[in-house]
Structure 1
Amino acid sequence: MKILYFSRDYTPHDHRFLAALAETEHEVYFLRLERRGHAQEERPLPAGIRAVKWAGGTRPAMLADGPRLLASLRRVLKGIRPDVVHAGPIQTCALLAALAGARPLVSMSWGSDLMLDAEKNKRTLWATRRVFKKSSVLLCDNEAVRARAIALGMDAGRVVTFPWGVDLAHFSPEGGDGGLRQRAGWEDCFVILHTRTWEPVYGVDVMARGFALAASQRDDLRLLMPGNGSLAGRIKQILMGAGVIDWVRFAGQVRYEELPQVYRSADLYVSSSHSDGSSVSLMEALACGVPALVSYIPGNREWVTPDVGWQFRDGDAEALARGILHAAEGRDMLKKMGAAARAKAEQKANWETNFKTLLGAYEQGTQK
């Protein structure tokens, strides 16, 4: 089978999909819509994946680029003649694929495209419903996103729920933190980990304010923040203004191979995201046996139950601070919660098992 995998950029998530597809007997092509900001994934394309040269993929894609990209995509489809086109997010890649006449089309939601963007305005709602109409299958990564798609008009019989999952052998509680806490001088501290990209949708400013409030009451709190993003200046301003920036380590871009050590260095994983499907970083934390404190949004509610962590009101920095303090004061319960977190990941977030659902969705798409 020829598979054309069409995604907005090239991220660790895309690498994981492509690496798994490269291990199958299928002929896989990768089409990249745009190149935006700093590189999110430094690893090259997996061996055997064929990068497609076309009019996109070299700079940010703008609405005005639509006609040029659409014409180029039609030429790509004519040249490759894929048996299935896998495209997402919905209002960008999947829309272009739908308008270009890609058939069969397996559209994949990335969570926020349906939870936040679909009804942002009349254009995005039209785009969403157009994709639904033209899709043989719609992939959703949890029940909240699936329910949202159906509410927006997607035929429930064409929706496949596919939690992306993680590599449970790579992300595990075993192996230590590589001396990270020792090098930072944090052996006796309570370490909080935030791994989300520093963008507005992930509520990273809420996280910074919440940490600052909690740190004003406990001087043993520390914050580890890998990554980067457009809010970098704002985040550092919040932490500096609160006088706690010296208690924060900005780790920059962390290599995939080193990520498990970063998770294992933490006592608590925090995400203040305003929108999520099944968050991969949350699944990675659970797989490493790290309890979680997350915003109370539909995607998180499917994963963070009282046995593995806590939730706080979305956007409420004071509630987040209270959650951090509660976790820090109850460190004795974290080991048990960490074991439950790992068990939940083994049950629901096994990438090797879940990937078979994707292959099944491709087969379903070709039969429509």
Structure 2
Amino acid sequence: MRVLYFSLDYTPHDHRFLATLAETEHEVYYLRLQRGPRQTENRPVPDGVHIVRWAGGRRPFRWRDFPRLLVDFRRVVRRLQPDLIHAGPLQQVALFPALAGAHPLVAMSWGSDLLRDAERNAFYRWASRFVLSRADAFVGDCETVAQKALSLGFPREKMAIFPWGVDLTRFSPGPDDGLRARWGWQDAFVIIHTRSWEPLYGVEVMAQAFTRAARQEPRLRLMLLGGGSLAPRLREIWQRGGVLDRVQFVGQVSQRHLPRYYRAADLYLSASHSDGSSVSLMEALACGLPVAVSDIPSNQEWVRQGIEGWLFPDGDAAALARILVRAARIPREQLQTLGWAARRRAEERANWAQNVQRLLQLYVLVQKRESAL
């Protein structure tokens, strides 16, 4: 089968999907809509995947370029004649094949496109419904996303809902390999945060909560990975709060090295305001880390209060601060029990190698339906 995989950019998630598809018998073509200002994946496109050259994919996407790009997208489809188009997020990427009338179309939600963007304005509401009305199948990563697609009129029987999952061999419990000693944190309680520093991910809530908690519990330290537009604001919060020296700004970390940072931590933190099944949450669970996460619906599908960690009311920095202090002060044995439960949760539900088979099975079903028409 000739598969055209069309995505917004090139991220670790795209690399993972493409690497899996490259190992199948399918002929895989990769099309990207933009090259964003911050690149998060430095590995090359997997061997065996054909990179499609077209008018897009060279700079950040602008809506004013859409008509010109749509013309060129139609040219790409005519030239490649794909047997299946896998496209997402919905309102930007999947809108191209939907408007071009290209079938079969497997529309894949990336979480926020449905959970937040679908209600951003009248155009996004229309685009969400239009794409789903033209899609032959829908892929989502959690029940929260599935319910949103249902509310927009997409039938359950044409959905494949599965968490993307992680590599449970790579992301696994293990000892700290010296990171804590490098920073003089051997006796500290270390929190890890891996989300982008953007408003969607509640990073100001995270920063305010850490400031409050660190004033009460001197052992608290924060390991901050990644980057984003709110970097100056985060530094300002911690500088004013007098805790900036307790934060380690790690920067962007490759997928290969990411597990060692989880293993150096005692607790994973995410204050995200919206998510599908968060891959970073699954990575932390797989590494046996207790978690403290916002109580948004998708997180409640993964974390049970007091079992894998703690849930706090979305946006409530004071509640999160109380959890951070409590986590730092509970007996080590209790923390280990939470960590074991976290790993079990990941083993039960977050196995990428197993979960991605749902996508490959969906490809076959969609192709059979198309052939029967």
Tell me, yes or no, whether TM beats 0.5.
Answer: yes
SS of the aligned residue for 2:116 comes to: helix
Q: For residue 171 of structure 1, what is the aligned residue in structure 2?
A: 171
Q: For residue 292 of structure 2, what is the aligned residue in structure 1?
A: 293
Q: CA deviation at 1:178?
A: 2.2
Q: CA deviation at 1:337?
A: 0.8
Question: How far apart, in 2, do the equivalents of 1:97 and 1:224 lie?
Answer: 41
Which residue identity is paired with 1:316?
A: D
1:142 aligns with 2:153: no
SS of the aligned residue for 2:256 comes to: helix
Q: For residue 318 of structure 1, what is the aligned residue in structure 2?
A: 318
Q: For residue 214 of structure 1, what is the aligned residue in structure 2?
A: 213
Which residue identity is paired with 1:160?
A: A
Q: CA deviation at 1:308?
A: 0.4
Q: CA deviation at 1:120?
A: 1.4
Question: How far apart, in 2, do the equivalents of 1:331 and 1:170 lie?
Answer: 28
Q: For residue 364 of structure 1, what is the aligned residue in structure 2?
A: 365
Aligned-CA RMSD value = 0.9
1:342 aligns with 2:351: no
Q: CA deviation at 1:177?
A: 2.6
Q: For residue 158 of structure 1, what is the aligned residue in structure 2?
A: 158
SS of the aligned residue for 2:169 comes to: coil
SS of the aligned residue for 1:138 comes to: strand
SS of the aligned residue for 1:55 comes to: coil
Q: For residue 183 of structure 1, what is the aligned residue in structure 2?
A: 182
Which residue identity is paired with 1:345?
A: A
Note the alpha carbon deviations across 1:337-358, whole angstroms, 9 max, x for none. 1111111100000000001001
Q: For residue 270 of structure 2, what is the aligned residue in structure 1?
A: 271
Q: For residue 103 of structure 1, what is the aligned residue in structure 2?
A: 103
Unaligned runs of 5+ in 2: none
SS of the aligned residue for 1:216 comes to: helix
Task: Decide whether the 8 Å contact of 1:177 with 1:260 is kept in 2.
Answer: no
SS of the aligned residue for 2:364 comes to: helix
Q: CA deviation at 1:367?
A: 2.9
Unaligned runs of 5+ in 1: none
Question: How far apart, in 2, do the equivalents of 1:337 and 1:138 lie?
Answer: 34
Q: For residue 123 of structure 1, what is the aligned residue in structure 2?
A: 123
Question: How far apart, in 2, do the equivalents of 1:162 and 1:340 lie?
Answer: 21
Q: CA deviation at 1:36?
A: 1.1
Question: How far apart, in 2, do the equivalents of 1:59 and 1:134 lie?
Answer: 28
Which residue identity is paired with 2:357?
A: K
Q: CA deviation at 1:331?
A: 3.8
Note the alpha carbon deviations across 1:94-139, whole angstroms, 9 max, x for none. 1112112221000000111111111111111110011111101110
Question: How far apart, in 1, do the equivalents of 2:331 and 2:261 lie?
Answer: 19
Question: How far apart, in 2, do the equivalents of 1:298 and 1:209 lie?
Answer: 23
Which residue identity is paired with 1:340?
A: A
SS of the aligned residue for 2:28 comes to: strand
Q: CA deviation at 1:156?
A: 1.6
TM-score after normalising by structure 1: 0.98
SS of the aligned residue for 1:131 comes to: helix
Question: How far apart, in 1, do the equivalents of 2:313 and 2:43 lie?
Answer: 36
Question: How far apart, in 2, do the equivalents of 1:267 and 1:69 lie?
Answer: 47
Note the alpha carbon deviations across 1:165-184, whole angstroms, 9 max, x for none. 0000000003x232111111
Q: For residue 133 of structure 1, what is the aligned residue in structure 2?
A: 133
Question: How far apart, in 2, do the equivalents of 1:100 and 1:58 lie?
Answer: 21
SS of the aligned residue for 2:311 comes to: strand
Which residue identity is paired with 1:106?
A: V
Question: Percent identity over the alignment?
Answer: 56
Moved over 2 A (4+): none
Question: How far apart, in 1, do the equivalents of 2:23 and 2:63 lie?
Answer: 35
SS of the aligned residue for 2:119 comes to: coil
Note the alpha carbon deviations across 1:256-306, whole angstroms, 9 max, x for none. 111110001110000000000000000000000001000010110000113
Q: For residue 17 of structure 2, what is the aligned residue in structure 1?
A: 17
Question: How far apart, in 2, do the equivalents of 1:2 and 1:162 lie?
Answer: 23
Q: For residue 244 of structure 1, what is the aligned residue in structure 2?
A: 243
Task: Decide whether the 8 Å contact of 1:137 with 1:364 is kept in 2.
Answer: no
Q: CA deviation at 1:236?
A: 1.0
Question: How far apart, in 2, do the equivalents of 1:101 and 1:318 lie?
Answer: 50
Structure 1 residues 76 and 311, CA, compared in 2 at 3 Å: closer, same or farther? same
Residue-pair matches, total: 367
Question: How far apart, in 1, do the equivalents of 2:79 and 2:213 lie?
Answer: 57
Question: How far apart, in 2, do the equivalents of 1:328 and 1:153 lie?
Answer: 46
Question: How far apart, in 1, do the equivalents of 2:289 and 2:38 lie?
Answer: 28
1:65 aligns with 2:71: no
